[in-house]
Amino acid sequence: MNFVVILLIFAVPMLELGLLIKFGQNVGFWWTMLLIIGTGILGATIISHEGLSAPIKAQEAMRRGEAPVPKMFDSALAAAGGVLLITPGLIGDGLGLLLQVPLVRRVVGRWLVQRFFRIEDVTVHRQPAMAPGTEPRGPRPGNDPMRPGPKASGSPRGDGPVIDGEFERIDERPSTPKKPHPNSLDKS
């Protein structure tokens, strides 16, 4: 394991504890307890709100034709801030409050994506939803020279691969009762 990570695992809780003790000495025990309980309640409220609103934000983004990932990532960072607010400590509370600011979430989100995911070239193409059993009209990606799609020799514009797929909504399938097999043991 990286030495810095090990140092942080042990140093941050000790620093949090020391700051809480010093804060309690200067402000008072009950005010410190009120702060810890208040930020915990605030954090739980934020986690509850973000957890419930994340799917709604993603659906709204998809309806507008946007990728839902940024909205989900934004909600995840806000919920992470809520988790930091729940944990007792002034450093975690400060970081948790910072993560509630949308501009800070965008900056942190971009940094995390660049740092950990290293996505080179990804393009998302949206196709309108169709009724079950219908085929799409018009050319499919890759068959139309005016639309991006997979190319044998690569694309000079830098378009990424197109992943074509089909789906079926399970809740729209007609339900038919299964007949027992003639050789089954159930003869009722």
Domain ranges of the chain: 3-117
Q: How confident is the model at residue 176 (pLDDT cuts 50, 70, 90)?
A: low
Of 53 and 146, the structure prediction assigns the larger pLDDT to 53
CB atoms within 10 A of CB 182: 5
Considering only 3-7, 16-20, 38-42, 149-153, which range has the smallest mean pLDDT?
A: 149-153
Residues with Cβ < 8 Å from 133, sequence gap 6 or more?
none
Percent of the chain with pLDDT strictly greater than 70: 65
pTM check: above 0.75: no
Average confidence (pLDDT) over 153-167: 61
Q: Is the pLDDT of residue 3 over 90?
A: no
Q: How confident is the model at residue 23 (pLDDT cuts 50, 70, 90)?
A: very high
Q: How confident is the model at residue 164 (pLDDT cuts 50, 70, 90)?
A: confident
Task: Determine the Cα–Cα distance for residues 67 and 75; give it in Å rounded to an integer.
Answer: 14
pLDDT of residue 151: 46
Task: Say if CB 42 and CB 85 are below 8 A apart.
Answer: yes
Task: Say if CB 74 and CB 108 are below 8 A apart.
Answer: no
Q: How confident is the model at residue 26 (pLDDT cuts 50, 70, 90)?
A: very high
Q: How confident is the model at residue 154 (pLDDT cuts 50, 70, 90)?
A: very low
Of 105 and 182, the structure prediction assigns the larger pLDDT to 105
Average confidence (pLDDT) over 62-90: 86
DSSP class of 138 = S
pLDDT of residue 51: 76
Q: Is the pLDDT of residue 187 over 70?
A: no
Dig out the tokens for 69 from the structure: 């990932």
pLDDT of residue 103: 92
Phi, psi of 136 (to 5 degrees): -65, 145
